[in-house]
Amino acid sequence: MRLIRGNVYDYPQYYDILFAADWKAEFRFLRACFQKHARRRVARLFEPACGTGRLLVKFAQVGYQVGGNDLNPRAVAYCNARFRRRRLPEPACQGDMADFRLRGKVDAAFNTINSFRHLQSQRAAASHLRCMAAAVAKGGIYALGFHLTPTGPPSCDEESWSARRGSVAVQSRMWTVKLDRRPREEWVRMVLDIHASNQQLRLEDAFPFRTYTAAQFRRLLAAVPEWELIETYDFTYQVDQPVCVTGQTEDVIYVLARR
């Protein structure tokens, strides 16, 4: 097995196999959120840190106008190529989710798989929320999903999952190496084992996430008054089953409404 130590986001073909396999639950949940919570018709969508465009392409195929940005040029290229293959307008550009401005406003936005925690400072996180407030029209919503750090011991510090596309199978394991609550930093290690007909690869990466307790996120949100928190859900993606966020809650989707 060939070993590669590098950035998992530099290998979008494998990342997409893992994260695009179970798109239906998120897709249905987000459409239900638009209908339930937006105070305007939702036709235009934006995804910051859109990666490979796994959800953007599904929305585009049912008639939404979509756009996204991402720091990684390989992910952007992969996303736009999948749109070209379907003869759809290319939606993605290279950009920083904490420092961007759209040409026109959108009706709703989403970011559901922890990308927000890649922003390593309070300043960057607040800047992201302000950029999103400038991007989303009044009455629109932003569905932001990520893992909170509970005030007590985490219930789980390791995840593993697998997916297959054609002859390529990808197995993933991600675990916490170090959690330091004072600087609010969680170092995680991620290993992808890729099995294809002509090769076997192991891709290893390690990176930091910024940590948030429920109270810490509430304080951040209070600093950006353009947003109103209107509902919270967990990662079961059941729009008819909102959850109450406590100090022990870990997986949350915050639905924010643009005032």
Q: Domain holding 184: CATH number?
A: 2.20.25.110
Q: Retrieve residue 222's tokens.
A: 């209070």
Write the Ramachandran bin of 93: left for phi over 0, alpha for psi from -120 to 50, otherwise beta: beta
- Tell me if the pTM is above 0.75: yes
64 and 43 Cβ atoms separated by less than 8 Å: yes
Residue among 98, 29, 68, 37 at smallest CA distance from 229: 37
Residues 142 and 184 in one domain: no
pLDDT in tens, 106-140: 999 999 999 999 999 999 999 999 999 999 999 99
Residue 100, domain extent: 7-149+213-258
Residues 229 and 116 in one domain: yes
Residues 168 and 121 in one domain: no
Report the pLDDT value the prediction gives residue 153, as an integer from 0 to 100. Answer: 83
pLDDT in tens, 33-56: 999 999 999 999 999 999 999 999
Residues 48 and 74 in one domain: yes
Q: Tokens 């209107």 identify what position?
A: 230
Within-domain flag for 237: yes
Q: Average of pLDDT values for 79-102?
A: 98
